[in-house]
Amino acid sequence: MKGYLILEDGNIFEGEYIGEEKEVISEFVFNTSMTGYLEVLTDPSYAGQSVVMTYPLIGNYGIALEDQESVKPYISGFIVNELSRIGSNFRKNIDLKDYLIQHHIPCIQGIDTRYLTKLIRSKGCMNGMITTTHYDDLTEIFPRIKAYMIHNVVEETTCSSIYTVGQGKLRVALLDLGAKRNIVQSLVERHLEVTVYPADTKAKEIIDGNYDGIMLSNGPGDPSENEALIEEIKLLIQSQIPIFAICLGHQLIALAHQFHTKKLKYGHHGANHPVKDLNTGQVYISTQNHNFVINEESIDSKKARPWFINVNDGTIEGIEYLNEKIKTVQFHPEACAGPMDTNHLFDQFVEMMEEK
């Protein structure tokens, strides 16, 4: 069956459609990872987006369900150059094609993903439609594609109720903004008791829990639209409880300090992004998935200082707050499938709590 990707700039790509027949409009980004496609599919931060994989062959080791980062995929669509027909892996539960069909994720293979990626790099992230319909007249289609916006995705991806995992003398409250499972796992591995809260939880409830630390997770969408959540985070900051935040959490902490965010041209999505620790000069390779960053010019030097920067483009990748026990990073130190270069940042969070 033929499938079509129609971009808002007028470009149309044709390939082989895989999955349930339906039309999906979303924002399109590209991911440069060579492995970890299941983690991409199940990363809640991709809610409202479709992903173009730049590596030409995807699916060669199948799907090991225990590696999922969430209970289900939140991705809108999947574009690959070639989808492996057979996955070879002793841990495999199902092939990628069957997984996509099972979860109703539309996929097109046979597209020139190299050209498509270069197009997104030159023009920026753009909206598009995945469809099986060949439209002779696109007059009515383009306004629909261009009008699409990502909204309220934190509400869609957060957990529905409070739950606790792990045991330890130190207790952590994790505010789930669309959290990847491995964030929780990284805390549990350090012998912490972790209580996970839905994103709409009031700050008072968390503060009254007398936790040793607070963790803010990754999540999808434009951070600035979460106005009510930002007000609650201000109260968490005032509590003086040590805080560690990743990705969306990092951005929301900055917004709560009256710093500003901006949208990147095509974002950072992949497992090969170098970041530099400004305290040590050490460069690490990181996994990233975000379209928004903190505007460095908006950072109040009396409140905070840049901690990490992106070696490729110089954007802010981490912030240390000067008079508060708060550290935040834009990248994913818990990343699976790797790299694990910055996993030690969780140990620093434990040290912050022990000092407190």
* Residue set of the binding site for L-glutamine: 45, 219, 221, 248, 251, 289, 292
Q: Please name the residues in contact with 237: beta carbons below 8 A apart, sequence gap of 6 or more.
A: 243, 253, 256, 257, 324, 326
- Catalytic residue selected from 39, 317, 332, 336: 332
In whole angstroms, give the CA distance from residue 158 to residue 171. 20
In whole angstroms, give the CA distance from residue 222 to residue 174. 20
Instruction: Return the SS3 of 41.
Output: helix
Instruction: Return the SS3 of 276.
Output: strand
Q: Decide: residue 122, CB within 10 A, 0-12 exposed, 13-18 middle, 19+ buried.
A: exposed
- Catalytic residue selected from 8, 69, 125, 247: 247
As annotated, the binding site includes 45, 219, 221, 248, 251, 289, 292
**What number of other Cβ atoms are within 10 A of residue 90's Cβ?**
7
Active site residue 227: no
Active site residue 107: no
In whole angstroms, give the CA distance from residue 319 to residue 342. 15
The answer, yes or no, to whether the previous bond of 73 is cis (omega within 30 of 0) is: no
Q: Encoding tokens for residue 224?
A: 């600035």
Q: Encoding tokens for residue 29?
A: 């980004």
Q: For the chain, what is the total number of helices (H) and then of strands (E)?
A: 10, 19
Kindly state the DSSP code that residue 224 receives in the 8-state scheme.
G
Active site residue 334: yes
Stated length of the chain: 356
Catalytic residues: 247, 332, 334
